[in-house]
Amino acid sequence: MLRDEMITVFGGSGFIGRYAVRALVRAGYRVRVATRLPHTAIDLKPMGSVGQIQLVQANVRHKASIERAIEGASAVINLTGILAQSGRQTFRSVQAQGAQSIAQAAKAAGITRFVQISAIGADADSKSAYAQTKAAGEKAVMDAIPTATILRPSIVFGDEDSFFNRFAQMALYTPALPLIGGGKTVFQPVWAGDVGAAVLAALENPAAQGKAYELGGPARYSFKDLLQYITATIRRPRLLVPVPWLAAYGIGFAGEIAGALPFVPTVLTRDQVTLLKTDNVVAEGAPGLADLGISPASVEAIVPSYLYRFRQGGQFAPAE
């Protein structure tokens, strides 16, 4: 049954945003997706019934557009974030100042239900600009709306992810894959569908207000473990070559230069190398998915359902 309640989602057209929007729609909410380029998010419409999903133009650097997007909403969800800087889209402008602008606009509108998507590793004292600005965004949100809920996922996987898909794609064209820093960094990957469910749970559960949750899947893996799993899943054995940190920074610098060119995706940046120096797992004793009533899906249960396309023969590859 459709509820007479509007939720505004900033960044709803992105990877995690699509799962969050789907969860909200299935729960009956009307959803207003605030995005810089509404015409690129038309495919969200079929997720809901006629009129259930609205697309509006908004830019986190423009206060008036934020205010228009929030008007009439009963809650706000902020999923805006970037993995690499490009032009005017910097970590500070999007993840720190953008979060602050959205939270302040929500406060001015009298909104007390607010969900902020951050990241495990958010730390004001980190050497990574990504982690610093994630922490700054959290602080700005909590300063404006103390009842907000912070969600910090580990690396997120799903059909459109930029981790499993990226390395599977690389395996198509190279005989070797890089083990940055020796591949010892540990991750706790979480399915995007579970992150979307966490957004809904945080929105609806009063006990979640004012709290931060770290979201990780049921298992931990080293970077090497994950690359081995990817190559085994797509049935393309590859040599895994350890890359020392100093060399990784050189690759990251080259990646930044290449990424500055039009239509060239950024493969790796120096800031991402810095992030890889720290394990990305749920802290001991931190509230997590279980506290939101969610039993997380495993990598093994989800990833093969979309990595099959990187196998020779794709969906027609013979069964093992």
Helix/strand/coil for 173: helix
Burial of 122 (0-12, 13-18, 19+ CB in 10 A): buried
- pLDDT, residue 262, reads 53
Query: Within 10 Å of residue 318's Cβ, how many Cβ atoms?
Result: 8
Provide φ and ψ at 242, rounded to 5°.
-60, 135
Query: How far is 65 from 98, CA to CA, in rounded Å?
Result: 12
Tell me the average pLDDT across 260-274.
72
Tell me the average pLDDT across 280-289.
96
Task: Say which residues have a Cβ less than 8 Å from residue 174's Cβ, sequence separation at least 6.
Answer: 238
- pLDDT, residue 254, reads 87
- pLDDT, residue 278, reads 95
Query: How far is 153 from 216, CA to CA, in rounded Å?
Result: 6
For the chain, which residues make up each domain, given as ranges? 6-158+189-217+280-295
Residue the block writes with tokens 């799993």 = 229
Q: Flag whether pLDDT at 144 surpasses 90.
A: yes
- pLDDT, residue 80, reads 94
- pLDDT, residue 266, reads 55
- Helix, strand, coil share of the chain (percent; to 5): 45, 15, 40
Q: What percent of the chain has pLDDT over 70?
A: 96
**Which tens digit of pLDDT belongs to each residue from 188-212?**
999 999 999 999 999 999 999 999 9
Residue 259 pLDDT grade (very low, low, confident, very high; cuts 50, 70, 90)? low
- pLDDT, residue 104, reads 97
- pLDDT, residue 256, reads 82
Q: Flag whether pLDDT at 265 surpasses 70.
A: no
What are the structure tokens assigned to 154, written together?
């580990």
- pLDDT, residue 220, reads 98
Query: How far is 295 from 302, CA to CA, in rounded Å?
Result: 14
Q: Flag whether pLDDT at 219 surpasses 80.
A: yes
Pick the CATH number of 6-158+189-217+280-295 from 3.40.50.150, 3.40.50.720, 3.40.50.300, 1.10.3720.10: 3.40.50.720
**Which tens digit of pLDDT belongs to each residue from 31-42?**
999 999 998 899
Q: Flag whether pLDDT at 264 surpasses 50.
A: no
Sign of CA dihedral 129, 162, 226, 220: positive
Asked whether the beta carbons of 235 and 317 are under 8 A apart, the reply is yes
Task: Say which residues have a Cβ less than 8 Å from residue 59's Cβ, sequence separation at least 6.
Answer: 36, 65
Nearest to 67 by CA among 149, 136, 8, 115: 8
DSSP label at 95? I
Residue 86 pLDDT grade (very low, low, confident, very high; cuts 50, 70, 90)? confident
Q: What is the mean pLDDT of the chain?
A: 93
Tell me the average pLDDT across 252-267.
67
Q: What percent of the chain has pLDDT over 90?
A: 85
Q: Flag whether pLDDT at 48 surpasses 90.
A: no
Q: Which residues does residue 280 pair with via DSSP β-bridges, in sequence order? A: 187
Query: How far is 274 from 271, CA to CA, in rounded Å?
Result: 5
